[in-house]
């Protein structure tokens, strides 16, 4: 029972690195901020977690039970503050405090798992599995909660769930005094950093494409992106134990890169086209992330400290991915918006409706584009056609304009997805350099 509670705590803390992804469009609308600004709801949490992971691990190795309890209380209080945040600045500040609690929880939980199971290797596997499941399932859970109860519920639901995990510290066996931890596994952690940066595209960009780009409801998008965690779970469970860590890592990296490249080359808009790439990314995630963490942590003295290093590397990678990809996406959206306006105007002028209607309709479309630019939403092309004749010419023109808009949005995401694929492939370099290093 304690292992399950500890796993729940780990999953909650690491799910928060991505759980608000599907809520970002709603947060963007509520607080009237841009894409690069709203990304700080994710960036702030991951940045603080990356900075505090190693210091928290050194604290946790001496007082794991006390560290865990404090971490849970801080995390729960900050989650409540996030759910009740009256402004964007308060939300980001509360997310930073939430990350402090998350760092304390995840690092101390590894030590507590070792004490509970009496087996460091088994504890490390449980710790890795809980973290992967939490991070992968986060967007889907967040999307469903956003649709049903609002984005604030994502944080409010976490309060009682976090407090329940305090039961895990009762009766856990004390650990021996800390020993020298040794140096971190540099190549494994470097690969984790790069791979985690690439996964931002799957956990952040894909969600924005589904919700903001193609107009899906958050709950529906949440169901769509469950393909990724399901594939991750399946690949982690089905991977043969006889396959070495190096082969699992390399295979996983290639699958992640291939899936991201496939997302960059979608033939047309539509959620169904994202499923095969998601399966590739998820399968790669289940293989590579678990293998790299096992290589960095397993069999090492004071693995709680080395767990802190892997935690720092992963979340530093998320920050790197957000800071690299969000500005590229913003610039690409602006460029493709201009192209879509020109192409849309041409379709209106080339249509077979009356000349005066063409001019009025073209102006109304431009007004809708300007209004959308101010609000941060997509242009309401269908709204422009309300009250117009329901003839074949107008229906065909509306379909053509909507297709043009979908194509422009989809194309805008291509370059960020390709950059993420390149970032994933870059993880092969430290993997290759670390082949001869001891576990």
The per-residue pLDDT for range 154-170, each reduced to its tens digit, is 999 999 999 998 888 77
Residue 159 has what pLDDT? Answer: 93
User: Is the separation of the CB atoms in 36 and 326 below 8 Å?
Assistant: yes
Instruction: Summarize pLDDT for 195-230 with one digit per residue, the tens.
Output: 988 887 777 788 878 877 777 887 788 788 888 888
User: Which has the closest alpha carbon to 432: 189, 295, 250, 184?
Assistant: 250
Residue 27 has what pLDDT? Answer: 83
10 Å CB burial of residue 160 (0-12, 13-18, 19+) is exposed
- Per CATH, domain 2-172+188-331+413-433 is 3.40.470.10: no
Tokens 């992640």 -> residue: 256
DSSP, res 39: T
Q: Any long-range contacts for 122-125 (C-beta under 8 Å, 24+ apart)? A: 123/303, 124/293, 124/294, 124/297, 124/298, 124/303, 124/307, 125/294
10 Å CB burial of residue 438 (0-12, 13-18, 19+) is exposed
Distances (CA, A) of 320 to 46, 120, 289, 310, 314: 10, 31, 17, 15, 10
Higher pLDDT, 307 or 241: 307
Residues 6+ apart with CB under 8 A from 157: 145
Q: Model-level pTM greater than 0.85?
A: no
Instruction: Summarize pLDDT for 35-58 with one digit per residue, the tens.
Output: 667 778 888 998 999 999 999 998
The domain segmentation of the chain, as residue ranges, is 2-172+188-331+413-433
């Amino acid at each position: 029972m304690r292992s399950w509670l500890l796993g729940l705590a780990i999953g909650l803390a690491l799910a928060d690195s991505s759980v608000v992804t599907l809520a970002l469009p709603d947060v963007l609308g509520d607080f009237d901020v841009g894409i690069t600004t709203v990304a700080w709801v994710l960036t702030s949490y991951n940045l603080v977690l990356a900075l505090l992971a190693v210091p928290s691990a050194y604290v946790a190795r001496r007082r794991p039970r006390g560290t865990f309890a404090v971490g849970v209380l801080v995390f729960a209080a900050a989650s409540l503050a996030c759910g009740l945040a009256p402004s964007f600045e308060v939300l980001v500040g509360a997310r930073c405090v939430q990350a402090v609690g998350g760092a304390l929880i995840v690092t101390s939980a590894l030590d507590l798992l070792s004490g509970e199971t009496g087996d460091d290797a088994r504890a490390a596997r449980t710790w890795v599995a809980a973290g992967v499941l939490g991070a992968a399932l986060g967007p889907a859970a967040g999307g469903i909660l956003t649709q049903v109860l609002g984005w604030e519920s994502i944080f409010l639901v976490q309060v009682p769930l976090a407090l329940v995990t305090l039961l895990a510290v009762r009766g856990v066996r004390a650990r021996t005094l800390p020993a020298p931890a040794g140096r971190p596994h540099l190549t494994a952690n470097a690969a984790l950093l790069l791979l985690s940066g690439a996964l931002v595209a799957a956990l952040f960009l894909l969600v924005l494409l589904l919700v903001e780009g193609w107009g899906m409801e958050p709950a529906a998008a949440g169901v769509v992106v469950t393909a990724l965690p399901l594939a991750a779970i399946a690949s982690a469970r089905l991977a043969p134990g006889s396959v070495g860590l190096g082969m699992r890592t390399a295979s996983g990296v290639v699958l992640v890169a291939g899936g991201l490249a496939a997302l960059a080359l979608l033939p047309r808009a539509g959620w169904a086209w994202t499923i095969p790439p998601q399966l590739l990314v998820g399968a790669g995630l289940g293989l590579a992330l678990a293998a790299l963490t096992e290589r960095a942590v397993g069999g090492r003295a004071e693995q709680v400290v080395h767990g802190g290093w892997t935690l720092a590397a992963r979340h530093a990678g998320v920050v790197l991915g957000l800071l690299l990809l969000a500005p590229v996406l913003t610039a690409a959206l602006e460029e493709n918006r201009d192209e879509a306006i020109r192409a849309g105007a041409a379709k209106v002028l080339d249509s077979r409706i009356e000349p005066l209607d063409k001019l009025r309709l073209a102006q109304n479309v431009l007004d809708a584009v300007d209004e959308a630019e101010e609000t941060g939403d997509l242009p309401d092309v269908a709204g422009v056609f309300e009250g117009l004749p329901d003839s074949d010419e107008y229906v065909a023109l509306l379909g053509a304009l909507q297709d043009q808009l979908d194509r422009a949005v989809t194309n805008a995401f291509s370059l960020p997805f390709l950059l993420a694929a390149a970032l994933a492939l870059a993880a092969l370099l430290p993997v290759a350099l670390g082949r001869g290093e001891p576990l």
